[in-house]
Structure 1
Amino acid sequence: MSGGAVEVFYDHLAGWWPVISPVSDYAGECAEVLGILKARRPQAQTLLELGSGGGHVAFHLKADFDCTLTDLSPAMLEVSRRLNPGCRHIQGDMRTLDLDRRFDIVLAHDAIAYMTSEADLRAAFATARRHLAPGGLAMFIPDEILETFEPGASDLFGGEAPDGRSARALEWCGELAADGTTAVHYAFLLKDTDGQVTTAGETHHVGVFARADWARWLEAEGFTVETLVEQTDEDRTPRFLFLGTRT
């Protein structure tokens, strides 16, 4: 996660993240991501993830890349450290991060959605380019683009933990606002090891941009752009994957 004030999901509930969104749920999607990266950069060795959250994407990629993981939330980085002890973890904002280092690949998964303006998104693109070696590849995977956005869409998810905890979460998407953002409402039911159930809720604001804008702004920040549609058997609208080669 990067950008925005979201204190419940990515702070107070960070320790629940592996229960709310089990790492195993990422296996299929990450296999596709890995296949795309390997097909286009077979010699790539180093990967920087912007907005790495609890590290569930990195968990499925770290066997193939030397991963450096960055996120705005210290609590989520701590969750990721436990899951991915061999990866570097650095707190930072994807809009301003400067590690003074170059990578073969820069990846921003769904945390890129927290960029709610053209300026924010282009700043994240500039960060990606700043950290890429010449000819390096950036991949951005937003949850929503304008052409496939569905107001009112909802999703129920959650899981069980070996320690006996369980969680259920509801995600509900609001209408598109005039400024190109939408409110995503979350509600959580959390069952602790003693059987007690507590509830929590939070609203996040995310950006929804047109496919042409993604491509145009990437090109303006110094990338050659390729757009793919993911192949998924999940019950949801396939995401668009935006690939940028540093020119």
Structure 2
Amino acid sequence: MSRSDPDDILSTYRRQAATWDRGRPTGVFEQPWLNRLAALLPSGGHVLDLGCGSGVPIARWLMQRGFAVTGVDGAPEMLELARAHLPEAEWIEADMRTLALDRRFDGIVAWDSFFHLTPDAQRAMFPIFAAHLAPGGALMFTSGPAAGEAWGRVGGEPVYHASLDPEEYVALMAAEGLTLRGYLAEDPDCDRHTVWLARRADGSTG
């Protein structure tokens, strides 16, 4: 399989946006974890969907349950699809690695997006997560089950994936005041996804 550079991920998804959107499962196998995230959010809370793709099914699921959603993606073709699917949401073109919205959210989701970053870029994301997460806010992301790199495919093109050791993810979250609330490697009930759920301290002293 011909492999492109990890930094080509956005150009790949730009070319393959329509193919990805057609092939993305819409049955919401993610629902058990989304339920756990939603239980940590205030009613009507605001969620930042990082690497939102076309908005389906994650952003749509959240909005159907009364949450406001701001979606961020580096591929404008994906955002065009997202706006068509969910015109009432806010969609922003940006690279998550340099994100600086100067706003905080009740929840952040980086589902099947964060793991496209290189190991060093993943390490650098945790201060960015923290900068955009309100006190008491929840973070959910997917990774690989162990440290390493792998290549998948979208629309016939190779796409890069990487992961850190689980112990390093825990340490990176702890350094930003995030406490682990849920974790399962290769969840058999979630299409073998490795899922992390953490929460930031609420800042209260009582």
TM interval, short-chain normalised: 0.7 to 0.9
For residue 19 of structure 2, the aligned residue among 16, 37, 59 is 16
The residue correspondences of 1:68-87 to structure 2 (distance < 5 A) are: 68-87=70-89
Q: Distance in 1 between matches of 2:162 and 2:142?
A: 13
Matched-pair contact (CA < 8 Å) for 1:44–1:105? no
Q: Which residue matches 2:160?
A: 205
Question: Structure 1 stretches of 5 or more lacking a match?
Answer: 148-179, 189-200
- d(CA) in 2 for partners of 1:101 and 1:7? 24
Is 1:182 paired with 2:150? yes
Conserved? CA contact 2:52–2:73, under 8 Å: yes
Is the CA contact 2:52–2:59 (under 8 Å) kept in the aligned structure 1?
A: yes
For the residues of structure 2 that align with 1:224 and 1:145, how far apart are their CA atoms? 19
Cα distance in structure 2, aligned partners of 1:136 and 1:126 = 14
From 165, 182, 197, the counterpart of 1:227: 182
Which structure: greater helix fraction? 2
**Conservation of the 8 A alpha-carbon contact between 2:16 and 2:154:** no
Corresponding residue SS for 1:41 = coil
Structure-1 separation of matches of 2:178 and 2:13 = 31
Decide whether the 8 Å contact of 1:122 with 1:221 is kept in 2. Answer: no
Distance 1:232 1:62 in 2: 26
Instruction: Answer yes or no: is 1:135 the counterpart of 2:136.
Output: yes
- C-alpha separation between the residues in 1 aligned to 2:10 and 2:122? 22
2:9 counterpart of 1:6 = yes
Evaluate the alpha carbon distance shift between residue 126 and residue 44 of structure 1 in structure 2; reply closer, same or farther with a 3 A threshold: farther
2:127 matches 1:126: yes
Q: Does 1:52 align with 2:20?
A: no
- RMSD of the alignment, in Å? 2.3
Q: How far apart are the structure 2 equivalents of 1:44 and 1:215?
A: 28
How big is each residue's C-alpha offset from its partner over 1:113-147, in whole Å with a ceiling of 9 and x where there is no partner? 11211x311222221111111121111122x2218
Q: Percent identity?
A: 32
Alpha-carbon displacement from aligned partner over 1:169-206 (angstroms, at most 9, x marks no partner): xxxxxxxxxxx32222x264xxxxxxxxxxxx311221
- What TM-score, normalized by structure 1, do the two folds share? 0.70
What is the one-letter code of the residue matched to 2:23? I
State the one-letter code of the partner of 1:16: T
